[in-house]
């Protein structure tokens, strides 16, 4: 896969990065979303330090998947166990 070089601006600083061509749009979207979060935090809180804003925005993004409840696969696992037992009885 081909790599492309990007210059991302995040929180007022430029970061050169190389990514797979297939990941380019995702990376650009993530950088834009992070900058939007930083701007939103800046408007709502009396914080002007870019590093503090970056840390706060990053924490928000990392908390999203953690706040979702773990899926319960017990019913699926039980059905798979039942099917395995049934198949073992056939063989």
Q: pLDDT tens digits, residue range 22-59?
A: 999 999 999 999 999 999 999 999 888 999 999 999 98
How far is 22 from 3, CA to CA, in rounded Å? 9
Say if CB 46 and CB 58 are below 8 A apart: no
Average pLDDT rounded to a whole number, residues 56-84:
78
Q: Would you say residue 63 has pLDDT above 90?
A: no
- Give the confidence band of 89 by pLDDT, cuts at 50, 70, 90: confident
pLDDT for the residue 86: 83
Q: What is the DSSP track for 34-80?
A: HHHHHHHHHHHSS---HHHHHHHHHHHHHHHHHHSPPP--HHHHHHH
3-state DSSP call for residue 13?
strand
Q: Would you say residue 13 has pLDDT above 90?
A: yes
């Amino acid at each position: 896969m081909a790599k492309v070089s990007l210059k991302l601006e995040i929180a007022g600083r430029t970061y050169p990065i190389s990514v797979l061509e297939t990941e380019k749009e995702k990376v650009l979207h993530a950088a834009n979303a992070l900058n939007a979060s930083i701007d939103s935090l800046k408007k709502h809180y009396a914080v002007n330090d870019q590093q503090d804003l970056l840390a706060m925005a990053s924490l928000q993004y990392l908390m999203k998947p953690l706040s979702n409840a773990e899926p319960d696969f017990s019913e699926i696992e039980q059905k798979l166990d039942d099917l395995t037992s049934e198949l073992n009885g056939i063989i």
